[in-house]
Amino acid sequence: MIKRIFAVAILSIMTGCAAAEDERNTEDKASASAGAQPRIYKSQGRVTANGKTIRYRVIAGETYINNDDGEPAASIFSTSYIAEGYSDPATRPVAFIFNGGPGSASLWLHMGVFGPKRVDLPDGPDDDGAAPYDIIANPETILDVADMVFIDPVGTGWSDTLGDTDTDDYWGVKQDAKSVREFIRRWLVEHKRWNSPKYLMGESYGTTRSGALLQALEGGWTDIAMNGVVLISSVLNFGLDATDAGNDVGYIGLMPSYAATAWYHDRVDKSQWGGDFDRFLNEARAFATDEYIPVLLKGQLASREARSAVAAKLAAFTGLSPAYVERSNMRIPLRRFMRELLRDKGVSVGRLDSRFTGVEADGVSENPEYDPSAYGIDAAYTAAMLDYFSRDLGVEIAEPYVTLGGVRGWNWDADDGGGENSYVNVAPWIERAMRQNRSLRVFAANGYYDLATPFFGTELTLAQPGFDRDRLTITYYEAGHMMYIHEPSLKALAADVRAFIGGQ
């Protein structure tokens, strides 16, 4: 039986990047529910972005979300950047930004690409080592074109339930979207920004959240219409990247990313494609849909000659040995690929970013010890975010900050019909929003070396009927899931998002 719970292993951005505390501060939760006021920290800053010097206000703090009885039930921590000098809200966009997980705080997009300061990681796919880390002014911030609100959903960062509130009310596809929707509504009320152009920007599960949010925001008469959605490393249809037994289509979504990884690590004969990476990937895409999937679906009904021919091509594209491909029945699960590609070198490749490699303890393990592209960056982001909060923004909160991993028991039921035996797919909600909102545009950013949310799965999802291709932008970067850790890709992504907000 296919169950949604598998998706935690498939999707979780930065799974285990930072150890989450099992216990939150129960005294603070009780006091909040007893009438304590949300903690708010205000400051000011200045940054030069896109050649402009921008002065801005910062509001970092808690927003209480009430239950049906009007009592505070949860607290959502956010960080808002509001540029000075813009008097007309109708011409000043605002972007609501969050990461994924589910269970990840927004520090990755905050300190990685969009915030006025960012952490400066080593050049190249290398481990981040230990503190001190360089925290620098970020000329790529999009504050020149939009105000920004970084949101930490319930269970991430310093956001939590209050009092005796059950986390089940917030930990699920629909439940999470409902609470973030309420936060956005409250923010628009407080800042009088109802008539501002509005954007959602999410990464990884944050793109799933964006789909569910569009349904929550625009699915009724109290319509909060969005101008645009930025999907960074998308996973909208979980079936297209899940290499589970019986789900052959998942191998199709992943196969071109396997090929890109093999190309990067020089495990393919590049001369066959004239050294042309784009040509290579285009042929990998065509092979996946035109030759690979038919043979997988036919199984033993396919002729021996057809199976052998496809196995040989699959080996040529992925850098694996023909014998290994044959023994795997042409189905190579993600973790096995991570371990097998560079086994002869004693290393595994990364899941979030397959440019990264990690040394393995032995040469015969079936799966990698861990994801080298996760432990290669997690310490730097956590330290940079908390240092920035305390030193620059004056945030004085002693409770543990949940980077990722504090959310457990996620409710994956996103089916209006209540079905349980299906993969989560929020793409129809995005497609419906585009049909019912003629101003809604969609931007999808992809890393070639992202094995967690593969680019071809995104392409196939957004190619389905109902999506208006004229309002859809798809971009690609020479990096992985968090393409912004690669500085050329960081600059390109920021420029592309800035242009998207500007309507270009």
229 strand-pairing partners: 200, 442
Q: For residues 194 and 149, what is the distance between their CA atoms, to the nearest angstrom? A: 15
**Mean pLDDT confidence for 421-439:** 90
Which residue type does 132 have? P
CATH architecture, domain 4-13+25-239+377-501? 3-Layer(aba) Sandwich (3.40)
Q: Which of 175, 208, 98 is nearest to 453 (CA)?
A: 208
pLDDT score, position 45: 96
Q: Do 98 and 209 touch, CB atoms closer than 8 A?
A: yes
Q: Do 318 and 342 touch, CB atoms closer than 8 A?
A: no
Residue 222 has pLDDT above 80, yes or no: no
pLDDT score, position 13: 39
CA contacts within 13 A on the Cβ side of 105: 29
Q: For residues 504 and 498, what is the distance between their CA atoms, to the nearest angstrom? A: 9
Q: Do 466 and 247 touch, CB atoms closer than 8 A?
A: no
Give pLDDT tens digits for 370-379.
888 888 788 8
3-class SS at 418? coil
56 strand-pairing partners: 45, 83
Q: Give the sign of the dihedral formed by CA 436, CA 437, CA 441, CA 443.
A: negative
The pair of three-digit structure tokens given for residue 6, joined into one six-digit string: 């598998």
Q: For residues 235 and 228, what is the distance between their CA atoms, to the nearest angstrom? A: 17
Strands 198-204 and 94-98: parallel
SS (H, E, C) 111-151: HHHHCCEEEECCCCCCCCCCCCCEEEECCCCCCCCCEEEEE
pLDDT score, position 218: 87
Q: For residues 359 and 369, what is the distance between their CA atoms, to the nearest angstrom? A: 9
Strands 94-98 and 147-152: parallel
Residues with Cβ within 8 Å of 152's Cβ and at least 6 positions away in sequence, in order, are 76, 77, 78, 98, 105, 106, 158, 159
Q: For residues 163 and 177, what is the distance between their CA atoms, to the nearest angstrom? A: 21
Cα angle for residues 187, 190, 196 (degrees, 5° grid): 65
For residue 495, the tally of other CB atoms under 10 A from its CB is 13
**Mean pLDDT confidence for 143-160:** 97
pLDDT score, position 394: 96
Q: For residues 393 and 351, what is the distance between their CA atoms, to the nearest angstrom? A: 33
Q: How confident is the model at residue 165 (pLDDT cuts 50, 70, 90)?
A: very high
**Mean pLDDT confidence for 94-100:** 97
- How much of the chain exceeds pLDDT 90, in percent? 77
Residue 334 has pLDDT above 80, yes or no: yes
Q: For residues 153 and 180, what is the distance between their CA atoms, to the nearest angstrom? A: 7
SS (H, E, C) 372-421: HHHHCCHHHHHHHHHHHHHHCCCCCCCCCCECECCCCCCECCCCCCCCCC
Domain residue ranges of the chain, discontinuous segments joined by +: 4-13+25-239+377-501, 241-372
Tell me the Cα Rg of the chain: 23
Q: For residues 474 and 469, what is the distance between their CA atoms, to the nearest angstrom? A: 10
For residue 69, the tally of other CB atoms under 10 A from its CB is 6
Kindly report which listed range (28-32, 36-40, 50-54, 320-324) carries the lowest average pLDDT score. 28-32
The pair of three-digit structure tokens given for residue 86, joined into one six-digit string: 């813009």
413 or 196: whose pLDDT is higher?
Answer: 196
First to last CA, the chain: 45
Peptide bond into 116 cis (omega under 30): no
3-class SS at 30? helix
- How much of the chain exceeds pLDDT 70, in percent? 91
